[in-house]
Amino acid sequence: MDLGIKGKVALVTGGTRGLGRQCALSLAREGVDVAICARNTSDFLKIEDELKSFNVRVVTIKADIMSIDQVDNLFDYVVKQLGNIDILVNNVGGTVVRDDIEGTSLEDLKTTFQLNVFGAYQLMRRSIPVMKNSQWGRIVNIASIWGRESGGFIGYVSAKAALIAITKAAAISLAKSGVLVNSIAPGSIAHAGGGWERFQQENPSDIVKAFIDANLPMGKFGWPGPVADLVAFLSSEKAGMITGACIVVDGGQSKSII
């Protein structure tokens, strides 16, 4: 399917592995010029080669999304190298402290929000004026099913819930501008170097099976492809009436009916 976004410019944060890597590839497959950032540059050459195989322009930048100064420098560099950003995919996120409220300090909570919310918010703020001026833009924030319902640790679930709320509020205020803002809530997605891969490697097979049986109706962990292809669709002309949505991609894992 031709999604009608060939020649657009996208920025994908955390784009060297897992969901971010696959999002970048799905966009490049549609002819989108792609910039990716990551804290670890060791995989830059590999992902550059993969993306360039689609005959698109590619930029890789070392940046820590937890630093707002680095976020601003990242934004400016991408615009200088590729032009104005048409598609923003805020993928960076994760759990900082694996504990409940008694084991999660206020600083821990702030750090979790820095990782999952503040950098994404700043990139949205920097991107939106130009998108509005051109009357076209797409923002996709990668949240989690644990931002929609109870699950995970207190910092993570709170931060992802905030990201979903920011997405909704921004989408409503921008609805007439041509800028569409959506979020995606993945379930337990396994990928190379990710937490669910480590879980499977570090635990006996009976524990892994018990987790799958209790939590994953499809009988297996998710994989990045369906999430990434949805990102590409939401970034396209085909999704012209979808904004403010939080779309679940979890193989039936979550329990919420809304």
CB 116 within 8 Å of CB 160:
yes
Q: Strands 58-62 and 179-186: what pairing?
A: unpaired
Give catalytic status of residue 121 as yes or no: no
Backbone angles phi and psi of 137, in degrees to 5: -175, 155
Of 156, 224, 232, 236, the active-site residue reads 156
C-alpha distances out from residue 249 to 16, 20, 83, 147, 255, Å: 21, 15, 31, 13, 13
Strand partners, 12: 36, 89
By the 10 Å C-beta count (0-12 exposed, 13-18 middle, 19+ buried), 20 is classed as buried
Q: Which residues are identified as catalytic?
A: 156
